[in-house]
Amino acid sequence: MKLFTIGFTQKNARKFFGLLQKNGIKTVVDIRLNNTSQLAAFAKGEDLKFFLTEFCAIDYIHDVTFAPTESLLKDYKSKKVSWYDYEKEFDRIMLGRNIKNHILNNYSNKDSICLLCSEALPNQCHRRLVANIFKETLNDVEIVHL
């Protein structure tokens, strides 16, 4: 299974949707806690779902089970928590949510999934952490960051 990740910031709509189509994405799993921000432009919740399903024939799922808690996100953005501590706390949250069973029950039969978040790069974004959990949970997963 190929598991893709993408962030929408620093991408215009042409590049964003082009990358999804070029890579044969069948399902976008939006793992943002809040997907309704005005700053999201074309990647705003219902608009994104419309663009993906109507123009790209890509399924859209908003799954906050993979999102950080509001307090963790706030503490990280305000620099009260380092990235290292964020990763540790995020892992603890995912364990508490029994995330591996969630993946097995909801995503093991899907192919060409792309995890969506806002960060331009995956290195300090929770989508990379979630992708690694997918890899630990499912057999033969190749992660591709778009």
In this structure, what CATH number is given to the domain that contains residue 98? 3.90.190
For the segment 82-90, the average pLDDT, to the nearest whole number, is 96
pLDDT given at position 95: 97
* pLDDT tops 80 at residue 40: no
Q: In terms of residues, how long is the chain?
A: 146
The residue written with tokens 């608009």 in the block is: 47
- For residues 139 and 57, give the distance between their C-alpha atoms in angstroms, rounded to a whole number: 27
- Tokens read off for 22: 């070029």
**Segment 103-106 long-range contacts (CB within 8 Å, at least 24 positions apart):** 103/133, 103/134, 103/137, 103/138, 104/137, 104/138, 106/63
CB 115 within 8 A of CB 126: no
Task: Name residues whose C-beta falls within 8 Å of residue 37's C-beta, 6 or more positions apart in sequence.
Answer: 44
What is the pLDDT averaged over residues 102-118?
94
For the four alpha carbons of 47, 52, 57 and 60, in that order, the dihedral sign comes to: negative
| Range 113-122 average pLDDT | 92
Token pair for 26: 């069948």
Half-sphere exposure of 80 (CA within 13 A, CB side): 7
Q: What percent of the chain has pLDDT over 70?
A: 97
Please tell me the predicted confidence (pLDDT) of residue 38: 58
- Model confidence at 46, pLDDT cuts 50, 70, 90, reads confident
User: Which of the two residues, 10 and 44, has the higher pLDDT score?
Assistant: 10
CA distance 80 to 2: 35
In the chain, the number of structural domains is 1
Range of the domain at 27: 2-145
Model-level pTM greater than 0.85? yes
Return d(Cα 63, Cα 69) in angstroms, integer.
13
Residue-averaged pLDDT of the chain: 93
User: What gap in Å lies between CA 115 and CA 125, rounded to an integer?
Assistant: 11
